[in-house]
Structure 1
Amino acid sequence: MSIEDTRTTNRLAPIEAGARIPTLDVMRGLAVLGILAVNVVSFGLPFIVYGDADLSPFPVTGANAVARWTVDVFFHQKFITLFSMLFGASIFLVGGEREDEARGRLLRRRLFWLAFIALIHGLGFWYGDVLLLYAGSGLFVMLMRSMPAGALIGIGLGVTLLLGAMQAGTAWMMVAGPPEVVEAMNEGQPQHTMEAVKAAIAAYRSGWAGAMGQNLTSWVFLQGASLSMFVFSTVALMMTGMGLFKSGFLSGRAPTWVYLVLIGLGGTVLALLGVLEWSEATAARGANPTRGLAEAVASFPILVTLAYVSLIVLVVSRGPAWLAAPLRPVGQMAFTNYLTQTLIMTTVFYMPWGPRLFGQVDYVGMWGLVLGVWALQLIWSPLWLSRFSMGPLEWVWRCLSYGRWVPIRKAA
């Protein structure tokens, strides 16, 4: 996720010196809330269910089907894409141009401490941590922060679309390709069963040791996938976000028609995806009524994310101030809110001090939890920032990065 400070007056000014950028704060706020709607499934159900609703212990019908469809259409992959893009922008905001050695050292220290915090988060709480991937990818992307905006956007967006096309082609071929190709492509796929799902649920509910054992297994698998696959798409998205920031797109300096075109394109993809995913959601277990087309369209979340971004920019820069105002404090405390979501959800589902509801809450119930956390963070973020200049975990991270005590309380 994108969790750096947005303060800057010019490219080489210290990050404490300038005013915050409203569009970035609102995007961060929307992203940190939106990603919880996706992550809640991996908090409350085994890892193998996250990617395959057919393995769900609950019937994905009726209200559960609507709940799952809503996530798949409007949230899945859209907000992790936004997180990655904003993190790329934050690398430039903190590190400036490559010739600025002091800010470059600060950026490296921040990425080092981010990786340290990520290890605690992933190993001690929840395997789905994305911060370690971001810290590692950031070390590579920081080398590109003096590239022109056009080159960053061209390379980053080009690679993103290419990877999406490859994923779409693979998804389609695995279902609708020639029989011999379908058989060959599916032969090496892991075959999970409901018995494995029940065993994982029992392990999570058995106590802290069982839950952490399952968490460690999933963490090792996910980090391996991050190093071998996800890092390429993450770096490309970070480059795109950095380029969009340097070009002024993220702060509202592009022509209005550009934002409107992207909203139209993303809206069209979203509408098509909604129809296709509804066919999948209402089909029998194991059926594939769209013959891989739903998965193919879902392979281009960048188009929907850019529509979301364009809508936010227009609302913040050209719309009424009150419309996006509630999201700004949430975005200013995105790091704290992201990790707080983990603490709340792991407490609810499998930590020994909570009710240990792992595997007991269906998709509708999960939406109830998500809405409750959204309300909590929308309320507590502005209350905290009325007294303090940054979130508590942002403050810890900053102190570690600077190697000194940084003031947090606002002046009277």
Structure 2
Amino acid sequence: MSESPPSAGPIDNSERVHTLDALRGFALLGVFISNSLNWFNGRQMMPREQALALAASPLEIGVSSLFALLIEQKFVTLFAFLFGLGFALQMTRAEGRGTSIVPVYRRRLLVLLGIGLVHMFAIWVGDILSTYALVGFLLLLFRKASEKTVLVWAAVLLFVLPVVFSVGQRVLPVLMDGAAATERAQKATREEDASRRAEYLAGLSSDSVVTSQRANAHYGWAAFSNPGRPILLSIILGRFLVGLWAGRRGLLQDVERHRPLLRKLAAWGLGVGGVIGLFVMALNLAYWGVANPPGWLVWMRIVKDVGIVFLGSGYAAAFALLFQKERWRKVLGVFTPAGRMALTLYLMQSVMSLCLYDGWGLGLVARTPPSLTVLLSLAGFAVQVAFSHWWLARFRFGPVEWLWRSLTYGRFQPMRPVPTAAPAAN
């Protein structure tokens, strides 16, 4: 670890930007609801007919629609923004010490990659940490880029490359093999995917921990060959760059100085993102339960992705503005400890959910409608918030955060807060 300067180390609590911690905790709530509703309860693995049957009542359709409008992908976007913004903060602090961010940041990502891979194959296939770590290395390429360059690349990665990939996946096979052969190949791929999901769902329903986790690892390995993975990587890097731009501008670190811009971002983000979200929701309701919706709906993903970025940005700006008001800070500050130990809580959410949904636990997989899934997520997160308040009243870091920092800096970090010296008596 000799290449790391002696001054490099975790920041003290007094140096933390509490707005970012609270926003990260808020984002973690949305991520938990999203993962629970799409993955942990088995919805992604169920046949379409079974999933629709669980959400057939007006209440469940309403919950699913509101989830798609307000939560789905928006909070994951927030998390990615904050990852890029965190990179900007670390870069600024490294420059303040007169050192390079590269050595420590590279080790930080390697440790995160290891944690993510263990999470993916030993606990839950939907891990995002390993992907964040791999894409995070690409952020290093932009550490000296201008703000304009960062924004241009963000726009290309978010809105241009996904379209190019999508068109290429649909058009090139037709040009090379013909429409009939392409349709046969796509049908075979869909059948293979359905078989793989059914096998995974059967594993999750097993009353054996070994069987369910073996099915998880097998499905996780197959996920690496997903042809849509380049689109995901492009979108994640684009979101990172938006966060990098915001971090360089200091938008969320110095809210008062950027209040006019944040107000515009909140208004445009919530307005444009909300309108697009309502439009997409109306289309989803119009074709709810339709076995073979029209093919042109595939291209609505582009419009949807634009709305997600706008709404995610609007959430971040509105949250930061509200956090400056004392009354709102007391309410939103509840999320701050959860944001400080978000990595621990993210991994804990996976373990809690396996205990709830897998067959060896309570066996709720493929049985809970959207409304119950959301309620279970809210209850579980409330427990996590209480736990984070209790833990950080006694320790400096969450347990996984401590491991991450200790491995990154090559030395054990003190877990107990350092007591401040008492003022001298007069």
- The bucket for the TM-score relative to the shorter chain is 0.7 to 0.9
1:249 is aligned to 251
In structure 2, give the amino acid aligned to 1:214.
A
Correspondences of 1:60-209 after superposition (within 5 Å) = 60-62=55-57, 63-96=59-92, 103-163=101-161, 188=186, 190-192=189-191, 200-206=200-206, 207-209=208-210
Structure 2 residue matching 1:358: 3-state secondary structure: coil
Q: Alignment RMSD, CA only?
A: 3.4
| Bigger Cα displacement from structure 2, 307-316 vs 53-62 | 53-62
2:268 is aligned to 265
Q: Distance in 1 between matches of 2:302 and 2:147?
A: 29
Q: Distance in 1 between matches of 2:68 and 2:150?
A: 29
Matched, 1:232 2:234: yes
CA contact (8 A) 1:172 1:295 kept: no
Deviation at 1:156, TM superposition (A): 1.7
Unaligned runs of 5+ in 1: 1-11, 174-179
Q: Distance in 2 between matches of 1:338 and 1:273?
A: 27
Q: Distance in 1 between matches of 2:64 and 2:324?
A: 33
Matched, 1:389 2:396: yes
Deviation at 1:355, TM superposition (A): 2.1
Q: Say if 1:75 and 1:163 are closer, same or farther in 2 by CA, change over 3 A.
A: farther
| Bigger Cα displacement from structure 2, 207-216 vs 368-377 | 207-216
In structure 1, give the amino acid aligned to 2:405.
R
1:286 is aligned to 291
* 1:276 maps to which of 275, 280, 287: 280
Correspondences of 1:390-405 after superposition (within 5 Å) = 390-405=397-412
Q: Distance in 2 between matches of 1:237 and 1:186?
A: 35
Deviation at 1:232, TM superposition (A): 1.9
Unaligned runs of 5+ in 2: 1-6, 172-177, 420-426
1:35 is aligned to 31
Q: Say if 1:287 and 1:351 are closer, same or farther in 2 by CA, change over 3 A.
A: closer
Give 1 or 2 for the bigger CA radius of gyration. 2
Q: Say if 1:195 and 1:140 are closer, same or farther in 2 by CA, change over 3 A.
A: closer
1:176 is aligned to none
Deviation at 1:397, TM superposition (A): 1.1
* 1:331 maps to which of 312, 315, 339: 339
Correspondences of 1:204-219 after superposition (within 5 Å) = 204-206=204-206, 207-219=208-220
Deviation at 1:260, TM superposition (A): 2.7
CA contact (8 A) 2:22 2:335 kept: yes
Q: Distance in 2 between matches of 1:103 and 1:197?
A: 41
Q: Say if 1:151 and 1:278 are closer, same or farther in 2 by CA, change over 3 A.
A: same
Q: Say if 1:16 and 1:164 are closer, same or farther in 2 by CA, change over 3 A.
A: same
CA contact (8 A) 1:95 1:142 kept: no
Q: Percent identity?
A: 21
Structure 1 residue matching 2:190: 3-state secondary structure: coil
CA contact (8 A) 1:106 1:401 kept: yes
Q: Distance in 1 between matches of 2:363 and 2:199?
A: 15
Q: Distance in 2 between matches of 1:330 and 1:266?
A: 25
CA contact (8 A) 1:348 1:357 kept: yes
1:45 is aligned to 42
Q: Deviations over 1:175-222 (max 9, x none)?
A: xxxxx9999689726435988766543332222343223312331233
Q: Say if 1:69 and 1:238 are closer, same or farther in 2 by CA, change over 3 A.
A: same
1:16 is aligned to 11
1:361 is aligned to 368
1:3 is aligned to none
Q: Deviations over 1:304-323 (max 9, x none)?
A: 11111110111123563213
In structure 1, give the amino acid aligned to 2:22.
V
In structure 2, give the amino acid aligned to 1:72.
A
1:380 is aligned to 387
Q: Distance in 2 between matches of 1:185 and 1:315?
A: 51
2:305 is aligned to 299
TM-score normalized by the length of structure 1: 0.83
Q: Deviations over 1:210-262 (max 9, x none)?
A: 32233123312333448633222222221221111011122225643322332
2:222 is aligned to 221
CA contact (8 A) 2:270 2:315 kept: no
Deviation at 1:91, TM superposition (A): 2.3
Q: Distance in 1 between matches of 2:279 and 2:49?
A: 19
Q: Deviations over 1:155-176 (max 9, x none)?
A: 2234323246658989999xxx
| Bigger Cα displacement from structure 2, 147-156 vs 72-81 | 147-156
